């Protein structure tokens, strides 16, 4: 049996139409996605903001009903057998508001253990184990409101492990964390899969995170899965290409060479990236200079998952 099975899943959201036109229009956030996740696998949904990652997680964790299609977790249908699914999974949702800030870390976990009917003795043992695992045992009696963002996220992960779930869903687990906290969280996620045998489905828009952690990655864009493979398999799509990254000031807005804008920094510098024939490099520079742009650097880079995304969509993940 697979840990997760998703078949032709669609989700429509009603669009807000201003009064007096009360006609409802629909926005297709998921356009019929299908994938499976094996038990013990660390599976990533990688995609830009608004791609449909959170919608997928909400459906799989029974928080949202799909419009059509089928989703099963551990063999149980997420609509017809939602209760069975809920017992065996848990979720670390995006954002920090899933804990009680006026309670201590220990009190939070004791409360959530009681929701899952974990017997008192067992709960005490598990809470100690989890707080030690996430490095918060020494701070267990501090109020959560005094925790840093990284500590809150570690506690949110401990909270999500309180019912010893077989499948753990993590929505953007390192979003907004400082570098050290993000490293801690990623190491923790790896340990959960490698040492504890958990199945993890995580969403991220950080390519390096997906690449470092995931056994397999589904790249999702505009509600569709546009590629699904191991990180190595995905990178094969761009392995023979010369990937060029150009830093430019006063970027004219487009270029005929198919390079994507991967970030526009505040000081007016734009970073372009994409596959380019070597002989086109001087032509690109000439094109930019003619349009009054200032080319600051041109570098040949090792292909990454970002290049796979650019190749498939013509856009940068961070754009
Ligand atoms: N309740 C809602 N009503 C209407 N539209 C919604 C609703 N929730 C999400 N959407 C839209 O559906 C699309 C997918 O949203 P979703 O949150 O699943 O994306 P995402 O990939 O998780 O991105 P993000 O990382 O920004 O959350 C977006 O265009 C979003 O604006």
Same domain, 248 and 172: no
Q: What is the residue with the minimal CA distance to atom 28 of ligand 1?
A: 50
Q: What is the residue with the minimal CA distance to atom 11 of ligand 1?
A: 29
Q: Is 269 exposed, middle or buried (0-12, 13-18, 19+ CB in 10 A)?
A: middle
Pocket lining for ligand 1, CB < 6 angstroms: 13, 27, 29, 47, 49-55
Same domain, 195 and 117: yes
Domain boundary among 194, 220, 235: 235
Q: HEC string of 53-91?
A: HHHHHHHHCCCCCCCEEEEEECCEECCCCHHHHHHHEEE
Same domain, 81 and 158: yes
Domain boundary among 220, 235, 250: 235
**194 to each of 98, 127, 218, how far by Cα in Å?**
26, 21, 21
What does the pLDDT look like over 9-38, one tens digit per residue? Answer: 999 999 877 777 677 788 999 999 999 999
What does the pLDDT look like over 99-124, one tens digit per residue? Answer: 999 999 999 999 999 999 999 999 99
Residue 298 to residue 300: CA distance in whole angstroms: 7
The answer as to whether 312 is a domain residue is no
- The ipTM value here is 0.94
Say whether pLDDT at 96 is over 70.
Answer: no
Query: Which residue's entry shows tokens 């899969």?
Result: 193
Residue 248 belongs to domain spanning: 242-302
Same domain, 16 and 112: yes
Same domain, 96 and 112: yes
pLDDT of residue 318: 67
What does the pLDDT look like over 196-223, one tens digit per residue? Answer: 999 999 999 888 999 999 999 999 999 9
Same domain, 252 and 167: no
Neighbour count for residue 38 (Cβ, 10 Å) = 13
What does the pLDDT look like over 271-307, one tens digit per residue? Answer: 999 999 989 999 999 999 999 999 999 999 999 999 9
Same domain, 90 and 157: yes
Q: What is the residue with the minimal CA distance to atom 29 of ligand 1?
A: 50
What ligand 1 atom has the least distance to the C-alpha of 15? 4
Cα-to-centroid distance, 50 and ligand 1 (Å): 5
């Amino acid at each position: 049996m697979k840990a997760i099975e998703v078949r032709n899943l669609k989700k429509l959201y009603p669009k807000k139409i201003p009064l007096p036109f009360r006609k409802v229009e629909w926005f297709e956030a998921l356009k019929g996605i299908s994938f499976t996740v094996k038990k013990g696998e660390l599976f990533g949904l990688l995609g830009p903001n608004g791609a449909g990652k959170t919608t997928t997680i909400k459906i799989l964790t029974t928080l949202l009903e799909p419009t059509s299609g089928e989703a099963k977790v551990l063999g149980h249908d997420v609509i017809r057998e939602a209760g069975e699914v809920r017992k065996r999974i848990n979720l670390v949702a995006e954002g920090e508001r899933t804990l009680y800030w006026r309670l201590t870390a220990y009190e939070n976990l004791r409360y959530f253990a009681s929701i899952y009917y974990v017997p008192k003795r067992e709960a005490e043992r598990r809470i100690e184990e989890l707080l030690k695992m996430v490095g918060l045992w020494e701070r267990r009696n501090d109020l959560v409101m005094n925790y840093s963002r990284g500590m809150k996220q570690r506690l949110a992960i401990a909270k999500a492990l309180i019912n010893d779930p077989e499948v753990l869903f993590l929505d953007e687990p390192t979003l907004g964390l400082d570098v050290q906290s993000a490293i801690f969280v990623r190491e923790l996620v790896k340990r959960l899969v490698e040492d504890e045998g958990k199945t993890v489905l995580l969403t991220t828009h950080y390519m390096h995170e997906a690449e470092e952690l995931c056994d397999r990655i589904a790249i999702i864009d505009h509600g569709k899965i546009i590629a699904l493979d191991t990180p190595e398999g995905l990178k094969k799509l761009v392995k023979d290409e010369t990937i060029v990254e150009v830093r430019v000031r006063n970027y004219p807005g487009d270029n005929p060479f198919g390079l994507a804008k991967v970030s526009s920094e505040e000081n007016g510098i734009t970073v372009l990236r994409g596959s380019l024939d070597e002989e086109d490099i001087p032509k690109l520079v000439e094109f930019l200079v003619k349009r009054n742009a200032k080319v600051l650097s041109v570098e040949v880079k090792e292909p990454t998952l970002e290049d796979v995304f650019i190749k498939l969509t013509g856009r940068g993940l961070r754009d």
